[in-house]
């Protein structure tokens, strides 16, 4: 059988280790594999490794590999391939954009043909999660320039054709080590406009479209949703005139009816955050926290009390990158205005938006971001938005500054969890963030397609089926 999947942007290369973009990932997830995998629900399971890794010492993890696996170019998958894959991706000259996932890895060592040790620069509790993200490439062929356009992996599919600007076609890998997939040919088409994608699905040209607008669930032949890895948040600055008063920050949190936003704007395909940015599926999620309540009266009162009535809050955001980003920003701003502040919307072009986001010296009062966490570990949110001097954070809480790095090297699972609980609680109590919604990924399917979408948002064709 043959299916067509629409993705928003085209892969710029098919080298699985080079770039960090969705178009490339969607395709290579079907061609390449990683040492560890996840079940559709998000649980770590063995992949190319025979079992979960064992920890030799705080810095060293040992992996046992499955035997008798070959890349589609004929090379064997063995310890050499793993060593090469690791060495390649962390080579500074290679300048992989995925380095942010693998910054802690020092090297990989071959023990024997089917045993590899991965060494980290410091204690790294989430190394297994990281290895779930690193695609294995063949030891020799990966140096060939042709590798960028003619991939060779161990996965269930291999590249058939790539017509630039139009489509990539994958066909079944006949020598796949695992269960043979039921779909023979997978066609990826690149369609940027969501309206056009919808049209394609309605016209029966497409089988799977991603980022389906929740409103359309009713109209498409079939749909499915899954708790996704993206969480929207507004980061408040603790320095700025308007938002340095904790009462104001609290008011801004209480002013928003998250449930209403989730129900109407996202037609229920989103959940109010539980008072934190950390993804509910991720390690480090604080189950003790409750969502900020919707209390417009108290919000108004707090604003008044803080003397912030009529003050201007600058809300920086962008449009078009994330699902309903502009609408969400406008809706939140609207709630805030009802609470009594004035909102200066700054919907910037993406480059300029990033400038503002990264500008450490001049933090905007409020910045809208959507955080995504593919590794499903709280470290991501912590270093992004919680820890002072994090990529996007706007507070200078000394506790958070100390805790987050500590947790990063804490290999004792329970202790680590404890530190994250402290950190999320502190941020919650001081209202550093306005966590908004945990988004769900909504997919539209053709009538014949059957598939359970995955938490990690991978589009794995081998799990799909069609009924004719």
Partner 1 sequence: MAVISPAVPTAAAKPRAGSFSALAAELWHDKAGLFGFAIIVLLIVLAFIAPLITPYDPALQSVAARLKPPVWMAKGSWEHLLGTDHLGRDVLSRVMAGARTSLIVGVSVVLLAGSFGVLVGLFAGFKGGRTDAVLMRLVDIQVAFPGLLMILLIVSVIGPSMTTMIVVLAITNWMIYARVVRGIVLSVRQTPYVEAAEVIGCKPARVIFKHILPNLTSPLLTLGILEFTNIVLAEAAMSFLGLGVQPPATSWGLDVANGKDYIFVAWWLITFPGLSISVTVLAINLFANWLRVTTDPQEREKRFARAKAAERRRAGRTAPTPVEA
Partner 2 sequence: MGLFILRRLFQGFLVVLGVTLVVFVATRMVGDPAQVMLPLSATAEQRAAFEHKFGLDRPMAEQFVDFIGDLATFDFGESMWQRRPAMDVIAGRLPNTLKLIAAGLGLAIVLALPLGALAAIRPGGFADRITVFLGLFGLSLPQFWLGLLLIMVFAVTFKVLPTSGYGGWTHFILPAVTLALPAAARLMMLVRSSVIDELNQQYVRTARAKGLRFPQVLFGHALRNALVPFITLAGWEFISALAGYTVVVETVFAWPGLGLTAMQAIKFSDLFLLQAIVFTVAIGIVLVNIVLDVIYKLIDPRIKLA
Q: Which residue's structure tokens are 């069609």?
A: 466
Least distance from partner 1 to the Cβ atom of residue 95, Å: 25
**Is 354 a residue that touches partner 1 (CB under 8 A)?**
no
The only residue of 162, 188, 384, 420 in contact with partner 2, by rule CB under 8 A = 384
The only residue of 351, 361, 414, 468 in contact with partner 2, by rule CB under 8 A = 351
Q: Which stretch binds partner 2 (CB under 8 A): 8-16, 51-59, 412-420, 447-455?
A: 8-16
Least distance from partner 1 to the Cβ atom of residue 463, Å: 27
The only residue of 62, 205, 330, 463 in contact with partner 1, by rule CB under 8 A = 330
* 157: helix, strand or coil: strand
Q: Which two tokens stand for residue 336?
A: 């805030």
Sites for partner 1 among residues 263-282 (CB under 8 A)? 264-265
The only residue of 44, 52, 202, 466 in contact with partner 1, by rule CB under 8 A = 202
The listed partner (partner 2, partner 1, none) that binds 380, CB under 5 to 8 Å by sort, is partner 2
Q: Which two tokens stand for residue 137?
A: 């490439």
How far is the C-alpha of 234 from the C-alpha of 335, rounded, in Å? 13
**Is 358 a residue that touches partner 1 (CB under 8 A)?**
no
Q: Which stretch binds partner 1 (CB under 8 A): 18-26, 108-116, 136-144, 189-197?
A: 189-197
CB atoms near residue 161 (< 10 Å): 11
The listed partner (partner 2, partner 1, none) that binds 253, CB under 5 to 8 Å by sort, is none
The count of C-alpha atoms lying within 13 angstroms of the C-alpha of 397, restricted to the half-sphere facing its C-beta, is: 29
**Is 190 a residue that touches partner 1 (CB under 8 A)?**
no
The listed partner (partner 2, partner 1, none) that binds 340, CB under 5 to 8 Å by sort, is none
266 within 8 A of 275, measured Cβ to Cβ:
no
**∠ Cα 57 60 62 (to 5°):** 110
**Is 355 a residue that touches partner 2 (CB under 8 A)?**
yes
Q: Which is nearer to partner 2, 100 or 312 (CB)?
A: 100
How far is the C-alpha of 409 from the C-alpha of 414, rounded, in Å? 13
How far is the C-alpha of 289 from the C-alpha of 272, rounded, in Å? 12
Q: Which two tokens stand for residue 79?
A: 């310890």
How many of the chain's residues bind partner 2 (CB under 8 A)? 44
The only residue of 189, 249, 274, 363 in contact with partner 2, by rule CB under 8 A = 189
CB atoms near residue 290 (< 10 Å): 9
424 within 8 A of 411, measured Cβ to Cβ:
no
**Is 359 a residue that touches partner 1 (CB under 8 A)?**
no
Q: Which stretch binds partner 2 (CB under 8 A): 30-38, 169-177, 325-333, 351-359?
A: 351-359
Least distance from partner 2 to the Cβ atom of residue 430, Å: 24
The listed partner (partner 2, partner 1, none) that binds 191, CB under 5 to 8 Å by sort, is partner 2
**1 contact partners, CB below 8 Å, separation of at least 6:** 182, 183, 184, 185, 466, 468
The listed partner (partner 2, partner 1, none) that binds 216, CB under 5 to 8 Å by sort, is partner 1
Q: Which is nearer to partner 2, 106 or 202 (CB)?
A: 202
The listed partner (partner 2, partner 1, none) that binds 330, CB under 5 to 8 Å by sort, is partner 1
Q: Which stretch binds partner 1 (CB under 8 A): 163-171, 317-325, 408-416, 423-431?
A: 317-325
**337 contact partners, CB below 8 Å, separation of at least 6:** 343
246-254 and 325-339 helices cross at what angle (nearest 10)? 120
Q: Which stretch binds partner 1 (CB under 8 A): 43-51, 135-143, 198-206, 240-248?
A: 198-206
**∠ Cα 166 167 171 (to 5°):** 165
**Is 166 a residue that touches partner 2 (CB under 8 A)?**
yes
**427 contact partners, CB below 8 Å, separation of at least 6:** 276, 386, 395, 397, 400, 433
Helices (H) and strands (E) in the chain, counts: 13, 21
Give the N- to C-terminal CA distance of the chain in Å, as an integer: 9
**Is 91 a residue that touches partner 2 (CB under 8 A)?**
no
**∠ Cα 268 271 274 (to 5°):** 160
**259 contact partners, CB below 8 Å, separation of at least 6:** 272, 294
Q: Which residues make up the interface to partner 2 (CB under 8 A)?
A: 9, 12-13, 18-20, 92, 95, 97, 99-100, 103, 148, 164-167, 189-193, 195-196, 199-200, 202-205, 349-352, 354-355, 357-358, 369, 380, 383-384, 391-392
Q: Which residues make up the interface to partner 1 (CB under 8 A)?
A: 193-195, 198-199, 202, 213, 215-216, 218-219, 257, 260-261, 264-265, 319-320, 324, 326-327, 330-331, 334, 345, 347-349, 351-352
């Amino acid at each position: 059988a043959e299916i067509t999947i629409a993705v928003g942007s085209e892969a710029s290369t098919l080298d699985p280790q080079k770039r960090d973009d969705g178009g490339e990932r969607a395709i290579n997830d079907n061609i390449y594999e990683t040492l560890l995998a996840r079940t559709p629900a998000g649980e770590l399971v063995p992949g190319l490794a025979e079992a979960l890794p064992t920890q030799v010492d705080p810095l060293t993890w040992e992996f046992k590999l499955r035997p008798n696996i070959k890349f589609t170019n004929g090379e064997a998958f063995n310890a050499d391939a793993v060593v090469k894959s690791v060495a390649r991706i962390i080579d500074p000259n290679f300048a992989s954009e995925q380095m942010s996932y693998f910054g802690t890895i020092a090297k990989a060592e071959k023990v024997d043909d089917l045993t590899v040790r991965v060494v980290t620069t410091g204690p790294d509790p989430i190394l297994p999660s990281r290895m779930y993200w690193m695609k294995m490439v063949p030891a020799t062929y990966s140096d060939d320039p042709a590798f960028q356009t003619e991939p060779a992996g161990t996965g269930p599919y291999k590249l058939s054709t790539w017509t630039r600007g139009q489509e990539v076609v994958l066909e079944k890998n006949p020598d796949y080590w695992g269960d043979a997939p039921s779909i023979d040919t997978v066609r990826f088409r690149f369609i940027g406009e969501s309206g056009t994608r919808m049209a394609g699905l309605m016209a029966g040209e497409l089988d799977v479209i991603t980022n389906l607008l929740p409103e359309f669930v009713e109209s498409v032949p079939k749909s499915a949703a899954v708790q996704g890895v993206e969480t929207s948040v507004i980061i408040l600055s603790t320095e700025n005139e308007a938002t340095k008063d904790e009462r104001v920050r609290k008011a801004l949190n209480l002013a928003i009816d998250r449930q209403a936003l989730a129900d109407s704007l996202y037609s229920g395909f989103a959940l109010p955050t539980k008072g934190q940015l950390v993804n509910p599926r991720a390690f480090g999620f604080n189950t003790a926290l409750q969502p900020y309540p919707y209390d417009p009266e108290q919000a108004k009162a707090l604003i008044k009390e803080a003397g912030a009535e009529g003050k201007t809050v600058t809300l920086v955001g962008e449009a078009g990158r994330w699902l309903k980003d502009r609408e969400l920003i406008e809706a939140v701003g609207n709630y805030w205005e009802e609470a009594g502040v004035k909102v200066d919307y700054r919907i910037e072009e993406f480059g300029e938006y990033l400038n503002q986001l990264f500008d450490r010296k001049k933090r905007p009062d409020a910045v809208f971001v959507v955080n995504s966490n593919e590794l499903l570990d709280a470290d991501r949110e912590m270093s992004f938005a919680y820890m002072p001097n994090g990529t996007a954070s706007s507070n200078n809480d000394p506790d958070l500054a100390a805790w987050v790095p500590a947790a990063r090297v804490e290999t004792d699972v329970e202790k680590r969890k404890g530190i994250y609980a402290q950190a999320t609680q502190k941020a919650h109590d001081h209202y550093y963030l306005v966590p908004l919604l945990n988004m769900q990924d909504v997919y539209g399917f053709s009538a014949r397609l059957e598939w359970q979408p995955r938490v990690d948002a991978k589009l794995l064709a081998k799990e799909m089926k069609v009924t004719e």
